[in-house]
Structures are given as structure tokens and as C-alpha cells.
Structure 1
Amino acid sequence: MSLALRVTLSFVLFALTIVAESAQAQTLPRRSQLGAGVAASEGGVTVTAIAPDSAAERAGLSSGDLIQRVGAATIATPADFVAGVRAARPGRATPFAIIRDGAPTTLDVTLIEAPRENAPGIQTVYGAVEVAGALRRTLVTAPNGGANRRRPAVLIVQGIGCYSIDDSTPVSQMYARLAHDLTRAGIVVMRIDKSGMGDSQGPACNTVDFDMELAGYAAALQALRADRRVDPDQVFVFGHSIGSIGAPLLAAGQPVAGVIAAQGAGVTWMEYSLINIRRQLELGGASPADVDAALIVTASCSNRILLNGEPVQQVIAQTPECANLVPMPMSQAYMRQLTDINIAGIWGAFTAPTLLIYGESDYATNRADHERLAAIVNAVNPGGAQVILLPGVDHYLAQAETQAASMERLAAGNQFGTYAPQFSAAVSAWICARASCRP
């Protein structure tokens, strides 16, 4: 087996297909929903999957159909398809020009509005914040009742990659489960979609840099602190995975009551990447010589792409192994900004109470990094940081007996597994020990 095939390189790298969305105007409307997956093909896009009881199924779209036009838009790529569907309004028939079994035909497709989140005992409010002239979708969950009561609140800063926190996909449900558990404990929780994802306006997510992504979270935090249901003195920031880098940056820029970071990196990105590759290769059974060989190539590739800024495709063309050893889940600009961040510097720049959570079945990060971050915070604010270890919890906040078991589940196609409720319990207990939580 080649080194390229043996490297997993996971740090919550989510790549989920968005098949239909629409977001325009100052009052951010709900996106439309088609319910079809597509793949690139010559002369258009080919339908690969149809969701049951969807607009696509009701209109008669079938797997294998070649879509060439949506409304007035010519479709040459999946991106064209997404843009064409984005331009269609729910509730109105839109003509889809297709080729089926070699014969051209037209189907009138009436898209529907995407369903809204509806959890028992919880209010979910769909809002928006403005970032660089574009609106981003926010979801705020609050306990039912106590309309005049100001509550503690949490902003969730999620992992790296382009995906929506407002749909039925596993990554969305992971953050929804955390938000709902915290809300049932008496905490208001805000999530925000990334640029161009879900209902959000703005540039395509995979073109945005780290600073622009962080600006979205900063706008969300400001809005959360101003929410009439929220006590502005009891607002916390929770960062998961790459969010563990964004959370302390937000805390250094706005007053917060505390920071919670989980399953994150505690060293510079280049160091993290090398350590992560070594760990995962060793867990996967690679020989010591193969591990070291992979790290040598990785160091060279990373230096060229992340430090020197050589075009990614040029580097991959010259050294194909780089494609597997240096993952690019976001734009090169994003990853280069991430590489330049002084981790110790940002964690030493605020004095808010801090909780570091490490699920011990996480194969993508390690315990030592979380302990290092706690030591950095405690050096500035003695006793300000605490580390909690959660056995049986992995990087995806799911149940897994060991790191190897989590990797095996991913290899079997079940990346997100079964959510670990003890994770929510740890977060809510820490917040409620410092704030007035009343379900």
C-alpha cells in the first residue's frame, strides 16, 4: 500500500455537497431545496442521487439524467448547477433541460423551502448578521418560557471545512445536538453558517480566508451579546477543532465570561500537521521507516505551499504525494494565515476562565496540546484554566472506545458515529458553575 493511501489526515475536514440554496435581500430568506446530488459530466451534470419525497423526486428527476439548463442558466459544472438552483424561487416551477437515455426533454421542477429546525422544548430563531456587506445565517436556540429572563449564552465556533450547520447532515446534527443539550440546561446558544453556505450570502466558502471566517464569528458574538434574552456578562465562546484557534482570538477582541476549547491544536499548524500525520500513520500500522518517509515529504510540501506560497496545483504536479500529505480543506490563503498564527500568543492574550476538553479517543489531536494551552493560560491567570479528559469520546464528539476504533469507523464510512452525551454534560456543567443556568 502506498504512503498516500495510508494517511488519513483528519482534522474535521468536512466536504459535503450543497445541491440547492437561495439567500437574497436584507431579510435573509430561507433557501430552496431540491433533494438531488450531482456529479460533473461532459455537457452538464449527472444526477447521482434523489432524496425520497423531495422536489426532485416529485418532478420526476432520476439518477443518470444529464442536466444541461436550470431556468435560463446553462449548466457546465456542479458550481453552475448550484448557482442555477440558487436563482430559482421555492414554490415556482423552474424548467430543467435534461438528457435522458440520449433524448432531450424538459421537466418543470417546483422547489420547496428547506425545513426549519424543530426540537422539543426549544425555540429556534433564524436570524442573520452582516459580514463585509453580506448576510450570514444565524440559528439561536433558547429554552421555552422565561421570556423576561436574561440567560447565559454560548457561541459555537465549529471545525474547518465548507458545510452548513442548518441541515440534516451528520456534521450539522453534531453541533445541533450540542446546542440543544446546552439549551435544555438553560443556556442560549448561537450557531452561524459560513460564507455562501446554507442560507448565507457572501463568497463561496472555499475561497474565503481565515480572517474573513473569523469576522463572521466576531459579528455573531457581538449580536449574541446584544440579544435581549442574553445576559451580556455571561456570554461564553466554545471552539471545536479549528474553532479552538478562533475562540481565544474572539475572546481577546470582545469581553466574554469564559472560553471552552475542545479537540484542538495546541502548537503551530506546521507542528500540528506533522504530529498528526505521525500519529495516524502509526495507528494505521505503517512501519517506522514509512512514517518517517511520509514526514520528510510532508515537511517539504508544507514549506512550499504554506510558507513559500507556491501554487498548490504546481506543487502537486511536481510532487503528487503532496496532494495526500498536505490537505487543503480551505483556500490556500486560509491555510497560510492559519500557519502564521502564534498559538501561545493568542492563548496568553486574555484572562477569561478557560476549559480545555480532550476526548481521549481523538486520533486527530492529543492530550499534551490541551495541557500546554492550560499551562499558557495559567501562567497569565493562575488557576484560570482547567483540563477535562473524557474517555470514550473522539474528535467528532462521538462515542469510540479507542483512537484506533474511531479511525476504523471513519474508514467504514461512519465518520460521525453516535454522539457522546457526556460531552454536552461536561460543557454545561462548567458553564453553569459560573453562570445562572435555569432550564
Structure 2
Amino acid sequence: MRSGITTGLFLLAFLVQLRAQDLQRRAFMGIRMEPVTEDVQRVMKLPAIKGVLIQQIIAGSTAEAAGLQRGDVLLELDGREVNSPDEAVRAVGAYRAGQTLQYKLFRAGKTMVQQTIIQGVPAETYPDLEVTYSSVKAGDAQLRTMLTRPRHRSGKLPALLFIQGIGCYSMDTPFDTLRPETQLINAIARQGFVVMRVDKSGLGDSRGAPCESIDFYTELEGYRQAYAALQASAGVDSSNCFVFGHSMGGLMAPMLAKDFSVKGIVAYGTIGVNFMEYFTNTRRTIAQALELDAAETDTYVKRECACAAMLLSARLSREEAVKLDEVCDGVYDILLLRSEAYWRQLYDLNIPALWQAYQGKALAAWGSTDYISARREHELIAETVNQSHPGNGTFLEIPNSNHGMYLASTFSEARTNPGPFNPKVTEMVSEWLKKQLIWKMPENMLPEKENVQEVLWMEGIENAYPRLSQDGSKILFQSNRSGKWQLYLMDTDGSNVRQLTQGDHNNNFPDWSADNRKIAFVSDRDGNEEIYIMDRDGSNLIRLTNHPGRDIHPYFAPDGKSLLFNSSRDNRESFEIYQTDLKAKNQTRITQTPEVETCARFSPDGKKILYLKGFPDGSDDIFVMNSDGSNPVNLTQTPQMEGWPAWSPDGSKIIFSSRRNGAYRLYEMNADGSDVRQVSFAEPPKYDARAGYAASGNQIVFNRQMDRTIGIYLLKRFTNNPTNHD
């Protein structure tokens, strides 16, 4: 836990309990201060060395609202002298946001008494994340919950409950968003998850007994109620809920799974064996971090373990144990930061049995410089899970990460001089979480074999963006075989290849008109990527766009009178969807969002537009909206990358590519996003993309790619996997 001291100055964020019937924000004074010294007394001509000198006023705080100023000396709060920042905190601790606070201060040679209304601590705010404050009831306590979700995501998302370690500190961090837990939570939310944290009893906004006084099971009940609330939250996919347990939280996670469905657990820096065995294991690594020699280590381990045994296994009180060995008094100063009942309940737990009973996926993650927990215990967690449920347990070592998720290269550095938050924690944990979300095809949907016909494969050549003609006899595509992208036409068996465009420039992203008489495409022949149309034989070339921004991905409307395209003309950092007539007289922007929107296609009846939306976290989802841009609906809502959606001829199905199974494969779904089915099964390292239907609906043309070779293939319908197009 951070102390809040910065270069000798103190940030006073007064935390108080609020009205019992309404768990409001805690109050905060918002001043940086330091004790009054003899020098301060002399310079400011104070009558005595009393009070605290205000060095800074924090915006939005009680101090700002009260008109306090830098250089004021705060003497009393509610009639109580304050001669240190700690005394000031204690003096205001009983107050609530909205209550009146009386204070005495010294300013410009005068002493004055005034009063003010206490302001609440501000909420955490981020441009791309939404933080919602709520609460849960757990026994006699009411606990603050904080739900973080990405602003750009709609619908039901996977979720994760973050359970902190053993310390009594608030997880609500509006003034310290660089704290490792906060950075990890926000990073996971940016990957498309809803993430909940909860403040323990007596901390932050939470009401109840002081955190230090409650026992293990009382604390666990708070997390049980929080997880139940998370699963029931609007916008949460209850079938994809995870728990991240940090330190002691990693032990509580499998205990939650006894009563709830938990798809996956990440246990970081936790305990994997009985507590006394853990205690013995880690006293030796702590001694290593303390740089003790062999003899000192032996003495240290014996002393620590003997004192712990008296408290836990012998069940002696602190006073009784200290009478037997007064050395234990110093040991208990640290151990008894939590209640004796807490430790004894922890001691009694059969920890391996918890993991043995857990049926979900488990990632036991250990930082390579974490001297507070033991590597071998994390390996044992994975082994125990796999003994009962083969393949469900994974051990992960995160390099140069200490117990607090800070960067450090050695145990000693981890203790004395750790660096900033280790981004590898986010990277490696997020990768594991996403793998657990990969969509698995039910056995009864697997085909007997992939019914695929190779049309064109030229080693080292990219033949991309294939488009079938209306009668199914021709394929329009682009190829770089000449060194530049050019458009080509061929029969569906790969014969009679004819080049349609020429020149030392690129021509790509082709599309047919519905009657196959016109071809739309992108060309940089005039120095910039613009949209052109021409007749099927390459004649009657017309330029439709003329703008410094990029214009790409043209797709004809069903009536052949206009087309959709993407352009960066209004935002060089993004793409939006536009529509133009074929005479280039009327061009209108359809979407107005900060995200990247591409691959827009009209539905066969022209009433809807299907498109791809890219998000800041690198993922993509497939959306559908009305043709005027209204009522956008997310059809896929996955943290994986999706791509190249296309309508079936009757508008009832959508074919698209997705990485939900690791590499790009083709999937088909209903037009409302339901009934997703995998329809291509390329063997790695090949992958499939850029698909489109034949007019009959019984064939799909697509690209299969490996390294720098892109081939064109036809997919026939599976005999045991029919659709209404057969």
C-alpha cells in the first residue's frame, strides 16, 4: 500500500463513512501539508510551533471549496489541535461528505475560525473506460463496488472480479491510477472485459467493522456477494466470468467457485500448500531478499516459524506467546496486521483440496522476483488442477515481476528498489484470458471433411479479394503478380485469366455491380487512393472521388445506382462510411464515430448496412445498422479480431472471418448474430479470409493464405451441415 507521502508532503484525502441508508462517496479534504518547524514559525511569525503548513490545494476538494490557500497554517479541526498530517486525518475521520466542518487557521498574521461543507472524493474517470460505483451487502457490512467497462463496447461482455491481497487498503484510486492493480484492471477492461473490484469492510466508502478486525470468512463473504452481483450485472455474459486473485485473493478465488460458476481463475503470487508450509517456504526467500547469510537465514527462519506456530497451531494469544519468547513480539507486529481469527482460519484450510475440486480453467502465475510467494507452489496448483481435470491447469512465470507486479530483476531489488508496473503481467494474463474465450465448435457440428476446391495458388503471389459473378461462372480478383496490384478476371475453375487494368500503379479492392456490368475499385493512378468505376471489359473509366484522404473498399448498392466506401477524408486517423452516386455528384457521410469503420455492404434489400468496427484495443466486431446510419447493433461482441463480413444472397446469413479459434477461419451466422458456426478448417499455418457467397448461396469464394502466398478457393456446402441455401 502506498503511504501517500511525496517528497515530504502529504496528500490528505479524508476517508469517512457516510449515511447508513446510502453508500455515498467518502469525503476528502485535498491538501498537501507538512508539520510546522522552527523555521516556519519564525518566517510566518506564528505564536507557537503548532499546526500544519498547507503547501498545495487539490482541485475539486473540500479545501478548495473552503477557500484555503497555500501558505495557510491549519491549527484546529473541530476544536482539536492538528500538529501533524496524521492528526489532521484523525480529526476529520468522523465527518461525512455533506457535513459541516469547523476549522481554525493562521493567515497573514491573523487567526481566524471558519466552517465549510466537506466535499466527496471524485470518481475515477477515463476517456475510454466507464467506472460505475455501486455496493453489495455482506453480513453487517455494506461494501463499495467499482465496475469498469470499455465505453465503446455494447451488449454482454465477459467479466472478471479482481480480489486484492491481504492488506487493508482501498481499491478506489482516483489519485493513483498508476498503481499496478489499477493499471491491470484498466488494461483488462480495454481488452473488452467488465472488471469489478470491491473495497473491504471499513475501507474507502465501505461501511462495517475495521478491515483489520474481521476474520477470513467475513472477508470472503464480501467477495462472494460481489461476484454474485457481477454475474447478475446488465451487460455481463454470466457464462464467461473470471476471477483474478492477487496474493491472498488467489486463495479466495477457488473458494468462490464452490458456490458459483467461475470459468477461469488467475492466481498471482498466492499460496498453494497449507499455510505453515507456505510460511516456511517463503521465510527463506524473504531472507534472500534481506541479503542474510546462511547462518542468519537459519536463525531467521527458525524464529519466524516458531513464533507463527505458537500463534496458529498452539492457538496461544499474542500475550501468551510473547511471555514464552519475547522475540515473537516483533514477528507479530507484522503478522497481526490482521486478526488472530483471520490467521487461524487460514491455517485450518486444506488449500490443495480447494484446487482439486475446482472444475474450471486455472492460471497459476508467479513473478520471477516474487519473494513473498513460492514458484513451486504455483506449479503445484497447476498440477493439482490437472490431476482432477486434465488440461485445465497452467503454470506461468512472468519475468522480472515482483509480488506487487512491479518490475525487478532480483529478490533484493524487488524489496528495496522496484521499478514501475510490469506490462508483461497485463500482456500474458490478457493472452490467457482471451484463449479461454475462444469459441469451440460442438462435436455434432464438425464436418466429415472440408469440401474445398483450390482455384488458384501461385507460390509467393497474392491473389486477393475474389468476387463471384452473378451467374457463378467468373471470379473477379486482384493480384500482385506483375509487381503492382492489378485487377483480373478468370473462370471459376482457374482458367482463362485476363488482366483488366494496366500501368505502373495499384488497382485493388474490386467489386461487381449486381448485374456484373460495372466494376468498382480503388486506384492510386492519380497519386492518391481514389474510387473508380469501369465497365466489365475495362472501358469507360470514371473517377468517383477526389480527396487527399484515403478512399477504399467500394461496394455497390443492390440497385446499382450508388456505392458505399470508406474514407479518412474527415479524420486522417480513422475511417468512416460514405455513400456516393455513380456520377460523383452526391457524396454523404453515414457514420460519425471515433472508431474505424470499414467493409460496409448493403443488405440485399438495401435497408441495412453490414460493416466492421475496429476498437482501440486492436479488436474488431461486426455491426449492422439501418441504411441511414441509425440503430447500430453489435453482432459479434468478442475480444478477438473479426473481419470481412458479407451478406448471403437472401440476407438471412452472414459469412465472416474470425480469430476466435486462434487463427482466421470462416464462420457463418444468422443475420441477427445468432447460431455462429465455423465453416472452414484450414490446417495451420494457413488461414482463411475475404469470403463472399455465390448468387445461389451454395458456394463461397474466399482466400486461403500462408505467409506471402494468397490463393483463391471455393467452399461447397457440407452435406451434414446444411443451410437454407442448399
**1:302 equivalent in alignment to 2:308:** yes
Q: Distance in 2 between matches of 1:208 and 1:48?
A: 36
- Contact persistence 2:124–2:131 (CA under 8 A): yes
- 1:374 match: 382
Is 368-377 or 308-317 further displaced after alignment? 308-317
- CA drift of 1:430 comes to 1.3
- 2:20 match: 25
Is the partner of 1:152 in helix, strand or coil? strand
- 1:433 match: 435
Alpha carbons of structure 1 residues 48 and 371: separation in structure 2 relative to 1, 3 Å: farther
- 2:393 match: 385
- CA drift of 1:360 comes to 0.7
Deviation track 1:30-79 (CA, whole Å, cap 9, x = no partner) reads 1110236999xxxxx97598664353575469898665x637x9999999
- 1:6 match: none
Is the partner of 2:257 in helix, strand or coil? helix
Q: TM-score, normalised by structure 1?
A: 0.83
- Contact persistence 2:51–2:82 (CA under 8 A): no
- 2:654 match: none
Alpha carbons of structure 1 residues 108 and 314: separation in structure 2 relative to 1, 3 Å: farther
Q: Distance in 1 between matches of 2:84 and 2:318?
A: 21
- Contact persistence 1:22–1:85 (CA under 8 A): no
Aligned runs of 1:246-285 on 2, under 5 Å?
A: 246-285=252-291
- CA drift of 1:15 comes to 7.3
Deviation track 1:218-243 (CA, whole Å, cap 9, x = no partner) reads 00000000011101100001101111
Aligned runs of 1:25-104 on 2, under 5 Å?
A: 25-35=20-30, 52-53=57-58, 55-56=62-63, 58-59=67-68, 67=76, 70=78, 85-90=92-97, 93-96=100-103
Is 106-115 or 221-230 further displaced after alignment? 106-115
Letter in 2 for 1:382: P
Q: Percent identity?
A: 30
Q: Distance in 2 between matches of 1:293 and 1:386?
A: 36
- 2:168 match: 162
Letter in 2 for 1:114: V
Aligned runs of 1:307-318 on 2, under 5 Å?
A: 307-316=313-322
Q: Of the candidates 99, 120, 124, which is equivalent to residue 117 of structure 1?
A: 124
Is the partner of 2:227 in helix, strand or coil? helix
- Contact persistence 2:128–2:152 (CA under 8 A): no
Is the partner of 2:364 in helix, strand or coil? strand
Deviation track 1:384-425 (CA, whole Å, cap 9, x = no partner) reads 101111111111111112222212216xxxxxx411122112
- CA drift of 1:275 comes to 1.9
Which structure has the higher relative contact order (CA within 8 Å, separation 6+)?
1
- 2:414 match: 406
Paired residues in the alignment total 412
- 1:131 match: 138
Alpha carbons of structure 1 residues 60 and 111: separation in structure 2 relative to 1, 3 Å: farther
Is the partner of 2:303 in helix, strand or coil? helix
- CA drift of 1:195 comes to 0.4
Deviation track 1:247-285 (CA, whole Å, cap 9, x = no partner) reads 111112211111110111212222222222211213333
Q: Distance in 2 between matches of 1:37 and 1:329?
A: 27
- Contact persistence 1:14–1:161 (CA under 8 A): no
- 1:3 match: none
Q: Distance in 2 between matches of 1:60 and 1:318?
A: 55
Letter in 1 for 2:150: P
Alpha carbons of structure 1 residues 397 and 170: separation in structure 2 relative to 1, 3 Å: farther
Is the partner of 1:137 in helix, strand or coil? strand
- 1:423 match: 425
- CA drift of 1:426 comes to 1.6
Alpha carbons of structure 1 residues 331 and 98: separation in structure 2 relative to 1, 3 Å: farther
Alpha carbons of structure 1 residues 33 and 289: separation in structure 2 relative to 1, 3 Å: same
Indicate the structure with greater strand content.
2
- 2:179 match: 173
Q: Distance in 2 between matches of 1:98 and 1:331?
A: 39
- Contact persistence 1:31–1:113 (CA under 8 A): yes
Compare CA radii of gyration and give the structure with the larger one: 2
Deviation track 1:109-141 (CA, whole Å, cap 9, x = no partner) reads 542210110122111101111111332110101
- 2:664 match: none
- CA drift of 1:18 comes to 6.9
- 2:509 match: none
Letter in 1 for 2:378: H
- Contact persistence 2:149–2:194 (CA under 8 A): yes
Q: Distance in 2 between matches of 1:383 and 1:49?
A: 59
Q: Of the candidates 210, 214, 219, which is equivalent to residue 216 of structure 2?
A: 210
- CA drift of 1:299 comes to 2.4
- 1:335 match: 343
Q: Distance in 1 between matches of 2:133 and 2:211?
A: 20
- CA drift of 1:168 comes to 4.6
Q: Distance in 1 between matches of 2:138 and 2:55?
A: 34
Is 159-168 or 299-308 further displaced after alignment? 299-308
Letter in 1 for 2:639: R
Letter in 2 for 1:163: Y
- Contact persistence 2:15–2:28 (CA under 8 A): yes
- Contact persistence 1:163–1:197 (CA under 8 A): yes
Alpha carbons of structure 1 residues 227 and 336: separation in structure 2 relative to 1, 3 Å: same
- 1:9 match: none
* RMSD, aligned CA: 3.4
Q: Distance in 1 between matches of 2:288 and 2:182?
A: 33
Letter in 1 for 2:125: N
Q: Distance in 1 between matches of 2:293 and 2:75?
A: 46
- Contact persistence 2:272–2:381 (CA under 8 A): yes
- Contact persistence 1:178–1:424 (CA under 8 A): yes
Is 312-321 or 250-259 further displaced after alignment? 312-321
Deviation track 1:175-234 (CA, whole Å, cap 9, x = no partner) reads 211111011100110000010111011111111111111101000000000011101100
- CA drift of 1:376 comes to 0.8
Deviation track 1:281-334 (CA, whole Å, cap 9, x = no partner) reads 133331222211122222221122223333325534664432443422211111
Is the partner of 1:215 in helix, strand or coil? helix
Is the partner of 1:265 in helix, strand or coil? coil
Is the partner of 1:246 in helix, strand or coil? helix
Is the partner of 2:421 in helix, strand or coil? coil
- 1:188 match: 194
Deviation track 1:333-367 (CA, whole Å, cap 9, x = no partner) reads 11121121111111112111111111112121121
- Contact persistence 2:73–2:105 (CA under 8 A): no
- CA drift of 1:84 comes to 5.8
Is the partner of 1:249 in helix, strand or coil? helix
Q: Of the candidates 281, 295, 301, which is equivalent to residue 289 of structure 1?
A: 295
Alpha carbons of structure 1 residues 197 and 36: separation in structure 2 relative to 1, 3 Å: farther
**1:354 equivalent in alignment to 2:356:** no
- Contact persistence 1:344–1:373 (CA under 8 A): yes
Alpha carbons of structure 1 residues 275 and 66: separation in structure 2 relative to 1, 3 Å: farther
- Contact persistence 1:19–1:36 (CA under 8 A): no
Aligned runs of 1:315-330 on 2, under 5 Å?
A: 315-316=321-322, 319-326=325-332, 327=334, 328-330=336-338
Q: Distance in 2 between matches of 1:228 and 1:253?
A: 21
Is the partner of 1:363 in helix, strand or coil? coil
